[in-house]
């Protein structure tokens, strides 16, 4: 139609490459989601640093940050220096808000707390 030699073949090759690239991205995202893939070390380090920095957190017993699709889910067990349940709950609530503010993709936060052994 435009009298350009091999224009149709070049257009088909470009379209095929775009389709393969799109399929690769979809399959990669689906597999990472299904495999509950680990997140980047930067986000885990950010969460750990924020939790350790709090004055009432004595120790982080367990910290897991996982990705499901585009969302992040955090699960941690903290040793909290608090005299009563209400204080410990306030500490954990404040930490959850700080985590959500610092890591915007954080969809779910589950913080378990245990009393300090002292």
Give the model's pLDDT for residue 100: 94
Q: Tell me what the mean pLDDT of segment 92-110 comes to.
A: 93
Model-level pTM? Answer: 0.65
Give pLDDT tens digits for 44-90.
899 999 999 999 899 998 899 888 767 889 999 999 988 888 988 99
**Cα 37 from Cα 41, distance rounded (Å):** 12
What are residue 83's phi and psi, to 5 degrees?
A: -75, -30
Give the model's pLDDT for residue 5: 80
What are residue 45's phi and psi, to 5 degrees?
A: -65, -40
The per-residue DSSP string of 63-118 comes to: EEEEEETTEEEEEEEEEE--SSHHHHHHHHHHHHHHHHHH-TTEEEEEEEEEE---
Structure tokens at 91: 């500490």
3 state SS of 3: coil
Residue boundaries of the structural domains of the chain:
1-35, 41-115
Give the model's pLDDT for residue 116: 80
**Cα 40 from Cα 43, distance rounded (Å):** 6
Which residues are bridge partners to 62 per DSSP? 77
Assigned CATH for 41-115: 3.30.70.1350
């Amino acid at each position: 139609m435009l009298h350009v030699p091999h224009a149709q073949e070049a257009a088909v090759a470009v379209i095929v490459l775009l389709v393969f690239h799109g399929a690769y991205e979809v399959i990669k995202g689906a597999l990472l989601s299904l495999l509950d893939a680990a997140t980047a070390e930067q986000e885990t380090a950010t969460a750990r640093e924020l939790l350790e920095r709090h004055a009432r957190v004595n120790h982080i017993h367990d910290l897991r940050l996982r990705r499901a699709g585009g969302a992040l889910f955090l699960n941690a067990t903290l040793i909290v220096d608090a005299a009563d349940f209400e204080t410990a709950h306030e500490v954990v609530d404040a930490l959850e808000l700080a985590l959500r503010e610092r890591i915007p993709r954080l969809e779910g936060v589950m913080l378990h707390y245990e009393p300090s052994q002292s």
